[in-house]
Amino acid sequence: MSVKGLTLEDATRPGRLVLQDISLSVSSAEVLGIYGLMGAGRTELLEALFGVHGQRVKGTICIDGQSVTIKTPQDAIHHGLALIPEDRKRDGLVLGMTLEQNTSLASLWQFLTHGLLSQRKEHQEAESYRERLHIKSYSCRQQAGQLSGGNQQKVVLSKWLLTHPRILLLDEPTRGIDISAKNDIYALMDQLAGEGMAIMVVSSELPEIMAVSDRILTLCEGRLTGAFEQSEFSEEAILKAALPNCRKDDVSQ
């Protein structure tokens, strides 16, 4: 996927840009890290790519060299994108629904026959992902709100992996979860990239973003301010590029 000249207008202040002239690319089997301080525009970038902000987003998005229009999350899903949101309880799950119901939410069409939901197929897929992602629950019919934070995050991942994405957008995927669940998610990212998936990951933890990424881009005040290959990773250089007043005019993606 490549992005050229992406901008996002502020919803409450017309004319003010939250993202300005963002150009980047992420390849199959690559993990691209996005690092920036609070307010840099990290979450807004992933949301813009996923169609959350609709017509307020301008710019060109290309997949496999072809320009695509993404103005809604449904457009994004159609083109093979999936977004794991920062706030899993608010945006990723329906806490009062079961694990299997949450798992199927983004891909219900796979379970419909003549307008009727096949609960057997839904259960089979949820059980498959429960085993694959090592989700700790007494059954697929346990409510999502009863699970630990790490297991809730794995349910969100299951939901979006079931859409069979080619490009996975991860916003703070390990925030608020235990070490064991973090390691499971790191291993899953490595596996998915090894299978050819393109991954963009946002994290406010600099050591984490350096550990999981093949390349890192820095954001500051809605602009790209730095680009680092793995051989160039250093906490000092990346942090400096993410600070205000350290913006570069030209960033090589």
The residue with greater pLDDT, 12 or 82, is: 82
45: amino acid identity, one letter: L
Terminal C-alpha separation, the chain: 12
Q: Find tokens 């959350």 and name the residue.
A: 52
pLDDT for the residue 246:
56
Q: Packing angle between helix 179-194 and helix 149-161, nearest 10 degrees?
A: 20
Structure tokens at 245: 């007043």
Burial 184-205 (b: 16+ CB within 10 A, else e): bbeebbeebbeeebbbbbbbee
* Count of residues making up the chain: 253
Burial class (CB in 10 A: 0-12, 13-18, 19+), 179: exposed
Which tens digits make up the pLDDT trace of 69-116? 999 999 999 999 999 999 999 999 999 999 999 999 999 988 988 788
**Domain residue ranges of the chain, discontinuous segments joined by +:** 1-80+166-253, 94-164
> What is the DSSP pairing of strand 223-229 with strand 57-63?
unpaired
Which tens digits make up the pLDDT trace of 111-146? 988 788 889 999 999 999 999 999 999 999 999 999
pLDDT for the residue 15:
84
Task: Quote the pTM value.
Answer: 0.93
Nearest by Cα to 85 from 75, 97, 93, 94: 93
Nearest by Cα to 244 from 212, 221, 213, 217: 221
Q: Which residues pair with 66 in a beta bridge?
A: 63
Which tens digits make up the pLDDT trace of 168-221? 999 999 999 999 999 999 999 999 999 999 999 999 999 999 999 999 999 999
150: amino acid identity, one letter: G
- In CATH terms, the superfamily for domain 1-80+166-253 is P-loop containing nucleotide triphosphate hydrolases (3.40.50.300)
Distance, CA of 97 to CA of 95 (rounded, Å): 5
